């Protein structure tokens, strides 16, 4: 695999990448990112291969409990199962640790099995499930101690 590097990025980078992630039926637009990230500590991490963006991870401080919320992320299909998600997760966790956070929190949906498998394999624990009308849309809350 070509070398992949991770750097801080922008909302514009993330929105452009989101449009290329097939699982995102209605990707968030710039205004939603600005609403969540404005005036709060946050991180936008972008994975690059040969100067092209191939994945991202966005998180922010959602609560004042020492946790960092890993909100959105995605990898272009051609770059999946090649370690890109792990690089982005490691980057985010190291950054969060340096900022003084002690927990990473995230949510995923039951239908997004690869994300669920990745989180569990990366040390996250399921702490809660929000039931929805369709079991595939259940929200699974996960946490990882740093």
Q: Domain limits of the chain?
A: 4-145
pLDDT recorded at residue 70: 98
pLDDT recorded at residue 24: 87
In angstroms and rounded to an integer, the radius of gyration of the C-alpha atoms of the chain is: 15
Decide if 56 contacts 16 (C-beta within 8 A). no
CA dihedral 113, 63, 43, 114 (to 10 degrees): 0
Decide if 70 contacts 85 (C-beta within 8 A). no
Decide if 68 contacts 89 (C-beta within 8 A). no
Global pTM reads 0.92
Return per-residue pLDDT of the chain as tens, 146 residues.
Answer: 569 999 999 999 999 999 999 988 889 999 999 999 999 999 999 999 998 999 999 999 999 999 999 999 999 999 999 999 999 999 999 999 999 999 999 999 999 998 999 999 999 999 999 999 999 999 999 999 99
Alpha helices by DSSP H, listed for 62-129, are 84-98, 113-121
pLDDT recorded at residue 1: 56
Which CATH number does the domain 4-145 belong to among 1.10.8.640, 1.10.510.10, 3.40.50.11540, 3.40.630.30?
A: 3.40.630.30
Strands 67-75 and 103-109: parallel
Decide if 55 contacts 10 (C-beta within 8 A). no
Residues in the chain: 146
109: buried, middle or exposed (CB in 10 Å: 19+, 13-18, 0-12)?
Answer: middle
């Amino acid at each position: 695999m070509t070398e992949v590097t991770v750097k801080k990025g922008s909302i514009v980078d993330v929105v452009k990448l989101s449009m290329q992630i097939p699982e995102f039926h209605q990707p968030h637009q710039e205004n939603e990112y600005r609403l969540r990230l404005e005036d709060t500590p946050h991180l936008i991490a972008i994975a690059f291969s040969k100067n092209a963006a191939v994945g991202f991870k966005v998180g922010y401080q959602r609560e004042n409990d020492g946790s960092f919320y890993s909100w959105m992320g995605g990898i272009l299909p051609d770059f999946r199962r090649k370690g890109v998600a792990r690089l982005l997760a490691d980057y985010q966790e190291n950054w969060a640790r340096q900022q003084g956070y002690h927990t990473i929190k995230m949510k995923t949906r039951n239908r997004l099995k690869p994300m669920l498998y990745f989180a569990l394999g990366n040390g996250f624990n399921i702490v809660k499930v929000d039931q929805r009308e369709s079991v595939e849309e259940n929200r699974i809350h996960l946490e990882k101690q740093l």
